[in-house]
Amino acid sequence: MLIDIQLLPIKFDPLSISAHTVAVIDVLRATSVIIHALSQGATEIIPVATIEEALSRITQFPEGTTLLGGERESRKIEGFDLGNSPREYIGERIKGKRLILTTTNGTKAFHLVSSGREILATSFFNIGAISHHCLDMRTDLLIFPSGDEGRFSLEDVVCGGMLIDRMLEKGKGPFSLTDASQSALILYERFKENLVKALRLSTHGQDLIERGFEEDLSYCAQVDITNVVPIFRDGVIRIR
């Protein structure tokens, strides 16, 4: 089983990943929001690239069934119901609702890898469930960190390294690691005793602290708070 990680968020040759399971990661904060919302009872999540697309899609659904969420420059979008902090996606506010979500990096990442065989939303929140599921799939795995506006994002790669670590620990193998996945494992090992440290060191973490979202860093560093395995298919993310 080959485990690879794509260190920069660039578009793939569709054929090259058509047989792969793909784990999309945006710890700060899109996949953390998606997993949290689904674990709190959201019915489905539609990730879209632009605000215009979000405003257009919501008109297709009956009033009161669907929420608009997301951010630009980390902040809630004007006129939207919710921002991009997982702490907002809780309880009655989200239960039974559909969510249309647009963020700077994470929601776009799903579309970059849409040719994958099965595409999973991954964060520290559900790392154990995802590692089990990836082992069960028995296909090659591509881990896809969403990055930070096209750049390498430390926190996502550390999360990817943790996924690899869990799989090596639990799976029978044999596993084949690329230079990139070996490196992700080393980066995870450096921060495994203190995941928040990686989030605080990262450029995106620093931006969030400056913009008043410091609490989100420790919140998003929580490990295994849910077992949901969200799958992106035909433009929609639902629990498996």
153 binds a second copy (CB under 8 A): yes
Q: Tell the smallest beta-carbon distance from residue 8 to a second copy (Å).
A: 5
What track of x and - describes contact with a second copy for positions 130 through 149 (by CB under 8 A)? ------------------x-
Q: How far apart are CA 232 and CA 1, in angstroms?
A: 22
2 binds a second copy (CB under 8 A): no
**CB closer to a second copy, 22 vs 187:** 187
7 binds a second copy (CB under 8 A): yes
- DSSP per-residue string spanning 38-74: HHTT--EEEE-S-HHHHHHHHTTS-TTSEEEEEEETT
11 binds a second copy (CB under 8 A): no
Stretch near a second copy under the rule CB under 8 A, chosen from 14-22, 54-62, 172-180, 218-226: 172-180
Nearest to 65 by CA among 46, 79, 83, 84: 46
Stretch near a second copy under the rule CB under 8 A, chosen from 44-52, 185-193, 219-227, 229-237: 185-193
Tokens of 94: 């989200």
Rg (CA), the chain: 17
Residue 65: CB atoms within 10 A of its CB come to 11
Q: Tell the smallest beta-carbon distance from residue 151 to a second copy (Å).
A: 7
Q: How far apart are CA 37 and CA 40, in angstroms?
A: 5
Contact footprint for a second copy (CB under 8 A): 7-8, 10, 148, 151-154, 157, 178-180, 182-183, 186-187, 190, 201-204
